[in-house]
Amino acid sequence: MLSSAHWEIRRGYGETFRHWGTRRLRAARLLAKGIHQSEVARRVGVHRQSVSRWAQQLEAEGLHGLKKAGRAGRRSRLSAEDLKKIECGLKRGPEALGYETGLWTA
């Protein structure tokens, strides 16, 4: 069970959380009330595994642990240079790249 120190959520603290993710803060409040993780996930609109991870972060690091939410999805394999080349190609259009028509189709 999480200690009460982890759940010290004050009005001013909520301001800090605005850019950390209101979903994580809302989940923290619901978990503090003893609501089951799967129900928290349903109410907040996220996967149950996300709530489980947030609960572990809260246990280990308190509310500041939620700030380190990380990025979603897999890291891009493309470099900034690769992305720039793709963008330029898209702007030039399919015909400029050797396709028969001006439509991007398969």
Same domain, 14 and 62: yes
| Amino acid at position 29, single letter | R
Residue 39 has pLDDT above 90, yes or no: yes
14 has a pLDDT exceeding 50:
no
Residues 20 and 46 in one domain: yes
Identify whether residues 89 and 55 lie together within a single domain. no
Q: Which domain holds residue 104?
A: 77-106
The reply to whether 72 falls in a domain is: no
pTM equals 0.50
Pair of tokens at residue 10: 């004050």
Question: Which residue would you say has higher pLDDT here, 1 or 23?
Answer: 23
Average pLDDT over residues 26-52: 93
Residue with more model confidence, 73 or 104: 104
Q: Report residue 70's pLDDT band, with 50, 70 and 90 as the boundaries.
A: low
Least confident of 1-10, 21-30, 40-49, 86-95: 1-10
> Count of domains in the chain?
2
Average pLDDT of the segment spanning 43-69: 87
Q: What is the DSSP letter of 106?
A: -
Domain membership flag for residue 34: yes
> For residue 43, what are the contacts with CB-CB under 8 A and spacing of at least 6?
26, 30, 35
Q: In the Cβ-directed half-sphere of 96, how many Cα atoms lie within 13 Å?
A: 7
Q: Are residues 82 and 106 in the same domain?
A: yes
Question: Which amino acid, one-letter code, is at 69?
Answer: A
**Whether residue 106 has pLDDT greater than 80:** no
Q: Are residues 22 and 48 in the same domain?
A: yes
Q: Are residues 63 and 26 both part of a single domain? A: yes
Asked if residue 96 is part of any domain, the answer here is yes
Residues counted in the chain: 106
> Is 90 among the domain residues?
yes
pLDDT of 50 over the 50 cut:
yes
Q: Are residues 59 and 85 in the same domain?
A: no
On whether both 58 and 88 belong to a single domain, the answer is no
Would the pLDDT of 8 be above 80?
no
